[in-house]
Structure 1
Amino acid sequence: MKAAIALLAVVTISAVPFAFAQFQPTLVQLEECADIGISADECTEEAIASERCIGCFIVTSNHPPAPDPNIALTPIYAGIAIAFVAGVLYVRRTKDSRKARQSQ
């Protein structure tokens, strides 16, 4: 049981960094930001593109922004974890009941 809980913890924790990953700008992007006049803290591909093409990123629709896909994946990960724990418990109980029947 402890091994199952440890495995569940490892699977859950290993998925978290990808959900909140923040990528650092490359050296080429930093050079472009310096040329355009964007600070290194705000240097992203979107910031460079918005400075190059003024008006390209003007939102013309009134649609709300799309939800974060990680929010949609959270119930899936929770379901996988619950199914895993249920499977481990089922296997343990069937082993215990078989041992009890064989000993009688």
Structure 2
Amino acid sequence: MNNLKSFIQKLNEIQKAIVSFFLSTILFLIFYAIASDVSSRWDPNWKPPHPPNSPYYDMNVVPNTITVPFDFNETWWVWTIYLILIASLLLALYSHKNSNNNKK
């Protein structure tokens, strides 16, 4: 924990902005994948590409699924965890006073 505090104190404002941008983007992609997995459901209008008596029919074809990662009725808890995590990371990143600013 002390290593993290010393690392954060060494960052200037531009470096903090870059770190916060990349952290929030990477976490957004991770939570987007989680929300997509949580909200996936079978497509009721799906039809196989070939009829069962066709020579091209493949038994291993998986029916299409619909994923709606921003369907907040199903994924509200995923996005709430994401927002809490981002807020706590940004608070930890920006709450430390930079030693360069105190020298003025």
Question: Is the structural similarity TM-score above 0.5?
Answer: no
Higher helix share: 1
TM-score (norm 2): 0.43
Structure possessing the higher relative contact order (Cα contacts under 8 Å, 6 or more residues apart) = 2
TM value normalised by structure 1? 0.43
